[in-house]
Amino acid sequence: MKLSKVTKVLVVVMVFAMMLTACATKATEAPAAAPAATEAPAAAAAETEAPAAEAAFGQADCAPNCSYADMVMCFPQLGAESDWRTANTASFKSEAENLGFQLVFSDAQQKQENQISAVRACIQQGVSVIALPPVVEDGWDAVLTEANNAGIPVIVVDRSVSADESLYMAHIGSDMFLEGQRAAEEFNKKFPEGAKVLELSGTTGSGAAVGRADGFRDALADNIEIIDSQTGNFTRAEAVPVMQAFLQKYKAGEDFQGIFIHNDDMGIGAIEALKAAGVQPGDLFIVSVDGTRGGFQAMVDGWFQADVECNPLLAPQVAEMGLKIMNGDAASVEKHTLTNETVYYPENAAELLPTRQY
């Protein structure tokens, strides 16, 4: 059969079109195969590489054989406002000397901004652990985050912080709420028929003052009324004018029968004002907190009817925990370690006074 010229042209065009389609299909298939070719080596690597063991937070290079000689502990003390604080500082200094670790000490003079600057300097220095006694509860999030980012563990010491628990390793200190409750129970026992009392409270916004005030209110009997509450900032000097102002406003023994005082130093300041106003020991029922030698003396002299213990000798526990963390054992560290404490009374104050360490 003879093909016409037009038909021959048509056949050539169709064959050419089919060849083009075949080429185009091959071109689009190629990328689909590519990832399979590149995936293979990755899978092989996964099979051969052992997962790297992650160091625990705060673990030092010397782990698991770090000793106290390897430890640099930052201790930005909040101040020197009371005998309790002096004993707390001495506890850290003597522990450093006895165990042989380096203590980076500073005194913030009751100012949070000074404490924050001191913590920042310690982060820069690359200390092993920061033991932080916070002057107030709030406002620590930023600097705790900075310590976290630098891999430096923070142990909150003594007072608490309101920051999220994930921002610090642990807290070692007293149960301030329980201390307030214990003080309230003394008033409840003394005044079953009810009474009016004053409160001389600690540093505003501090974990110690907040906890003690809340615990006191929580446990105080309904028939005992707190007629006034003012801060003396945990110092003798500031407690004197506060007590003087109270005595001008309220008649001792008539308008109020007792005082809850948040620490012994303020109690001693208050006694000074009470004496000057002619109040005698025993005219008022006074409960204080700390259990310092000064507090014991006030019980011996008849001014305090009970002293709720708050133990400042915290350094041994803090140092031990710091070393644990350095050795990679952060997982076994308790989040909150509360100090075992009691209540002291005038009955055996004279006998115990010579044995008091602070």
Footprint of ligand AHR on 205-234 (CB under 6 A):
208, 234
Question: What is the distance between the alpha carbons of residues 253 and 249, in angstroms, rounded to a whole number?
Answer: 13
Question: What is the distance between the alpha carbons of residues 261 and 232, in angstroms, rounded to a whole number?
Answer: 9
- Could you tell me the two tokens for 350? 């004279």
CB under 6 A: which stretch of 2-10, 76-84, 161-169, 223-231 binds ligand AHR?
A: 76-84
Footprint of ligand AHR on 284-323 (CB under 6 A):
289-290, 310
Give yes or no for residue 159 binding ligand AHR (CB under 6 A): yes
CB under 6 A: which stretch of 82-90, 244-252, 280-288, 301-309 binds ligand AHR?
A: 82-90
- Could you tell me the two tokens for 179? 């201390």
In the complex, least distance from residue 293 CB atom to ligand AHR, rounded to whole angstroms: 13
Give yes or no for residue 87 binding ligand AHR (CB under 6 A): no
User: DSSP letters along 316-350, please?
Assistant: HHHHHHHHHHHTT-GGG--SEEEPP--EE-GGGHH
Given candidates 81, 175, 185, 309, which one binds ligand AHR under the rule CB under 6 A?
Answer: 81
CB under 6 A: which stretch of 26-34, 69-77, 81-89, 252-260 binds ligand AHR?
A: 81-89
Question: What is the distance between the alpha carbons of residues 34 and 288, in angstroms, rounded to a whole number?
Answer: 79
- Could you tell me the two tokens for 279? 């109040």
Question: What is the distance between the alpha carbons of residues 221 and 66, in angstroms, rounded to a whole number?
Answer: 52
Q: Which is nearer to ligand AHR, 208 or 271 (CB)?
A: 208
In the complex, least distance from residue 134 CB atom to ligand AHR, rounded to whole angstroms: 9
Question: What is the distance between the alpha carbons of residues 12 and 9, in angstroms, rounded to a whole number?
Answer: 5
Given candidates 58, 73, 76, 84, which one binds ligand AHR under the rule CB under 6 A?
Answer: 84
In the complex, least distance from residue 91 CB atom to ligand AHR, rounded to whole angstroms: 13
Residue nearest to ligand AHR (CB): 84
In the complex, least distance from residue 84 CB atom to ligand AHR, rounded to whole angstroms: 3
Question: What is the distance between the alpha carbons of residues 234 and 238, in angstroms, rounded to a whole number?
Answer: 8
In the complex, least distance from residue 57 CB atom to ligand AHR, rounded to whole angstroms: 27
| Distance, C-alpha 186 to centroid of its chain | 28
**Other C-beta atoms within 10 Å of 13: how many?**
10
Give yes or no for residue 171 binding ligand AHR (CB under 6 A): no
User: DSSP letters along 105-147, please?
Assistant: EEE-TT-HHHHHHHHHHHHHHT-SEEEE--SSSSS-HHHHHHH
In the complex, least distance from residue 189 CB atom to ligand AHR, rounded to whole angstroms: 22
Kindly list the residues in this chain that would bind ligand AHR in the complex (CB under 6 A): 81-82, 84-85, 158-159, 208, 234, 263, 265, 289-290, 310
